[in-house]
Amino acid sequence: MSNADFGSFTIFLFVLLAAARIFGYLFIRIRQPKVVGEILAGVLLGPSLLGRFAPSVSAAILPLHQGPAASAQYAAVLSFLYNFGLLLLMFASGAETKGLFNREDRRQVAWLGALGTGIPFVAALVAVSFIPLGILAGTSHARIPLMLVVSIAVAVTSIPVISKILYDLKILHTRFARLVLGVAVIEDIILWAVLAIATALAQSGSVPNRKIAMHVGLTVIYFGMGLLVAPKLLSRLTRSRWNVLASASPIAYVVVVLLAYSAVAALFDISLVFAAFLAGYAIVADKDFLASAVGTVSDFSFAVFIPIYFAVVGYKLDLSRSFSLTMLAIFLVLSSVVKLASAGLGAKLAGFGVADSANLAMALNARGGPGIVLASVAFDAGIINAVFYTTLVLVAILTSQAAGAWLAYILRLGRPLLSGESPQLGSQGQGEVLAPIV
């Protein structure tokens, strides 16, 4: 990338980050989730609005049409910022999550995961068989993959977005957050495996059973090692006398740990989202020793890279492709009702009261980033059409908005999200989000 190209990109980056911070602040002022404002900033600057109604201005901000080479360079840098921001978000989430899947929570997580994910998935799978799939199907015209994608869309919960909402409300360290993230992690392992089956079916017409089973098995092993074994090993490594990096530059050491986890995951084709989350989780084992370093990395990430990530999520959306208000309303209402009722039932059977169950169900209804990724993957594979793609994207944003607004409202009332926990004051109305507790 030449100096001129890099200079052009810095202009775009300046506009994107400034817009994300401004819209995030404005959404805080109107008592709405900050993360939704950051996504909206990207939507406004992207092809959905600015690119459609003022293409010359859009091209001046990010000149993607200066030839294939320049476009590829801009896209590569933008992709790096997007993925690195996601890794830092999940790392910070893992570092804030204490005792994920501990004995105290296993029963509750099992009930929430089994019913909150299982019922919506099965219900959608049954319901889809009674509707004309032609209104949803893409170019592959594959029935089974389409049924699987619709079921995933109804059942999925967003780890990145709900993590950001919990962080913005300064409750990422609570048992409520631990339960929600525990369920979301289990959901993602299962549902991304199902998506792998769906895309394989759409592309080849048959399921490569051995390959999928191996991939799922490696993911489970990696996650189990990351939860049970790696934190102890990392603690010993961190405090070793010969570990000069940890003692001389703790911040660099924290980043190296994140990159090492990601590299191992990439080697086995495991989602880097899980890798970053587990890296942060393992760092907690040396919380006292690395507290300042983790805090510095988190502060800078939430100030720069993570707002850029969510702004890019919005920027990459092209809502002008196609849109159906009827489809959006029907899918939004039905999927939310099924997910809320199922998660609420799981919470009740896990022993939570009505208010606690409602809070957990609202948090688990946020589809966010995974909902958007699901839509993009399914659309690119020809499983769904443009209208349903737009519907899934908007449902992901709207359910995340609703979840954040609900949790913020409960906290403003001074009520705990779980009985027995002290009410936590969120960031709404206070301007900037305070640094996380590490």
Q: pLDDT for 185-202, tens place per residue? A: 777 667 766 776 677 666
Which of these ranges, 78-82, 294-298, 355-359, 420-424, has the smallest mean pLDDT?
420-424
Cα–Cα distance between 82 and 76 in angstroms, integer?
10
- pLDDT score of 65: 47
Work out whether the CA dihedral 24, 277, 436, 171 comes out positive or negative: positive
More confident residue, 323 or 388: 388
The model's pLDDT over 269-318, given as tens digits with 9 standing for 90+, comes to 777 777 888 888 888 655 567 888 888 898 899 899 989 988 887 887 77
Give CATH 1.20.1530.20 domain extents, the chain: 88-412
Fold for 88-412, please state it.
Na+/H+ antiporter like fold (1.20.1530)
CB atoms within 10 A of CB 380: 12
- pLDDT score of 16: 92
- Give the mean model confidence (pLDDT) for residues 58-68: 63
More confident residue, 207 or 179: 179
- pLDDT score of 208: 57
- pLDDT score of 231: 86
- pLDDT score of 357: 92
- pLDDT score of 434: 30
Give the whole-number percent of the chain exceeding pLDDT 90: 14
Does residue 205 have a pLDDT over 90? no
The model's pLDDT over 372-419, given as tens digits with 9 standing for 90+, comes to 767 777 887 788 888 888 888 889 888 988 888 898 888 888 888 888
Does residue 78 come out as left (phi exceeding 0), alpha (psi in the -120 to 50 range) or beta?
alpha
Q: Is 232 exposed, middle or buried (0-12, 13-18, 19+ CB in 10 A)?
A: exposed
Confidence of residue 341 (pLDDT cuts 50, 70, 90): very high
- pLDDT score of 425: 47
Cα–Cα distance between 149 and 373 in angstroms, integer?
11
- pLDDT score of 209: 61
- Give the mean model confidence (pLDDT) for residues 87-97: 79
Nearest partner of 15 among 76, 47, 62, judged by Cα: 62
Query: C-alpha distances in angstroms, 15 versus 64, 74, 304?
Result: 15, 15, 13
Mean residue pLDDT across the chain: 80
Cα–Cα distance between 415 and 176 in angstroms, integer?
13
Going by C-beta distance under 8 Å and a sequence separation of 6 or more, which residues neighbour residue 53?
Answer: none
Confidence of residue 427 (pLDDT cuts 50, 70, 90): very low
Cα–Cα distance between 306 and 369 in angstroms, integer?
13
Residue 30 exposure: Cα atoms within 13 Å on the Cβ side: 11
- Give the mean model confidence (pLDDT) for residues 56-63: 73
Cα–Cα distance between 220 and 209 in angstroms, integer?
16
Cα–Cα distance between 104 and 207 in angstroms, integer?
38
- pLDDT score of 263: 92
- pLDDT score of 432: 36
Tokens 């510095």 sit on residue: 296
Nearest partner of 371 among 120, 58, 174, judged by Cα: 120
- Give the mean model confidence (pLDDT) for residues 335-347: 93
- pLDDT score of 196: 66
More confident residue, 368 or 255: 255
* Contact criterion met (CB below 8 Å) for 145 and 202: yes
